[in-house]
Amino acid sequence: MAKRKTKFVCQDCGYESMKWMGKCPGCQSWNSMVEEFEATASPKKRGFVTASTTLSKPQPITKIERREEQRYNTHINELNRVLGGGIVPGSLVLVGGDPGIGKSTLLLQVSSEVAKHGERVLYISGEESIKQTKLRADRLHISSDELFVLAETDVEHIEKIIEEMNPTLVIIDSIQTVYLDAVTSAPGSVSQVRECTAAFMRIAKTKGIAIFIVGHVTKQGSIAGPRLLEHMVDSVLYFEGERHHTYRILRAVKNRFGSTNEIGIFEMKEIGLAEVLNPSEIFLEERSAGAAGSAVVASMEGTRTVLVEIQALISPTSFGNPRRMSTGIDHNRISLIMAVLEKRVGMLLQNQDAYVKVAGGVRLDEPSIDLATAIAIASSFRDAPTPTSDVIIGEVGLTGEVRRVTRLEQRVLEASKLGFKRVIVPEKNLGGWNIPSGIDVIGVNTVNEAIEVTLGGATSGSPKFEL
């Protein structure tokens, strides 16, 4: 009998080695190499060319017919926005998020909405029994004859069920629980996750069935398993938010059928996830009037404008090295902005601890938030509140200049809708667009000018949120 070949696979990054190593050369993690048997499959399954294989021929790109992708409406506008307009038939979508964040709830609601409109949906749960899924469905008031539930972990049996039912949408909850008999490693291992995902991808592409698979995340917040998993699927959606807060953000980090800058915002309620139609009003409703260290910025998330509050707290340090902590903003960006304030504005911040956060649990990463962050830090350092009717937009350069931003007209229009009276913008952005009535637009060239405008003569008065 031939000896079975074994290999050692890193459970974090998928690095393979013929011998065991304490530290993975790929991701530098310790004790992550696990021994696995190599799968023994036929040449046809492994992808080798056989005599019966039909070879495809290359075609000139000018002769390829272009067709618009037909999409299924999920009837959840926030999800449609993130997916790029709806579910594309034959697509494979990976949904990741922390445990208990609401992934299963979201996908069960999507299944219900699609099934209500005449499409057959198959919900496969590998973590819960059928009765547990029914309890969640009753809590969400979900009832549809076209929504079928199956508790199964064998991929081969799942494939047979899909062939018999021919559903429009399939939900796999989760990819870490299903397995293939041909792979000898345990469910959830790198080899099982990779091979099972490849099997579902083949089903989706050959039968034109849209498949959503749920993926667990690691302590670092990334999808558990090899990075190859994210490359295999068509779209990767992250469901973010804190378990102790009601708001959830669905963000696309990869999308072959749409933009990766879109976000969907939901609120967790007793009857499930509800869409948030105006997130700016929610993020600003608890803002304190007259408090130092606060500034409002109009940030672009894809095609949506979101007004959020940036808070900063500057206090003398008790240690040799001052602390720099941030939530919702990159830590390195805070250090850069504080260096500009110290060098170009003259603020002595080298002996000050800095704590900066974005209120509401949103994460911002676009350059237009630089000026608002700088104003919030300066406001806390000088203990001078910013006007509550101001919105601050602009990118800050290392020489202290305020650089232009994109889609300024759309940002100002959103600020005007929410009752703000003044917007501080880069001078280079003025001209060439229409200023909404009832709002003043002030252009600045440097950070010094912006600080003088906002902190030199602060006014009181809270904006009214009128839509």
**Binding-site residues from annotation for ATP:** 97-104
Of the candidates 213, 146, 141, 137, the one whose C-alpha atom is nearest the C-alpha of residue 177 is 213
Half-sphere exposure (Cβ direction) of 30: Cα atoms closer than 13 Å = 0
Nearest residue to 437 (alpha-carbon basis) of 462, 408, 465, 412: 412
User: Which residues are 312's β-sheet partners?
Assistant: 356
Here the tokens at position 43 are 């040449």
Write out the H or E segment, with its range, that includes residue 112.
Answer: helix 103-116
Amino acid at residue number 67: R
Q: What is the DSSP string of 420-441?
A: --EEEEEGGG-SSSPPPTT-EE
Q: What residues contact 400, with CB distance under 8 A and at least 6 apart?
A: 340, 343, 344, 345, 446, 447, 448
CA distance 154 to 422: 60
Q: Are the CB atoms for 27 and 224 separated by under 8 Å? A: no
96 φ/ψ sector (left φ>0, alpha ψ -120 to 50, else beta) = beta
Strands (E), 139-230: 147-151, 169-173, 210-215
Backbone angles phi, psi at 232, to 5 degrees: -75, -35
**Binding-site annotation, residues:** 97-104
Distance of CA 143 to the CA centre of its chain: 29
Distance of alpha carbon 201 from alpha carbon 92, whole angstroms: 6
CA–CA gap between residue 161 and residue 170 (Å, rounded): 11
Task: List the beta strands (DSSP E) in 224-303.
Answer: 235-240, 247-255, 263-269, 272-275, 294-301
CA–CA gap between residue 169 and residue 209 (Å, rounded): 6
The b/e string for 58-95 (b: 16+ C-beta within 10 A; e otherwise) is: eeeeeeeeeeeeebbebebebbbbbbbebbbbbbbbbb
The overall longest dimension of the chain from CA atoms, in Å, is: 87
Q: What is the Cβ-side half-sphere exposure of residue 184, based on CA atoms within 13 angstroms?
A: 14
Q: What angle do CA 232, 235, 240 make, to 5 degrees?
A: 120
| Spatial contact of 368 and 337, defined as CB atoms under 8 Å apart | no
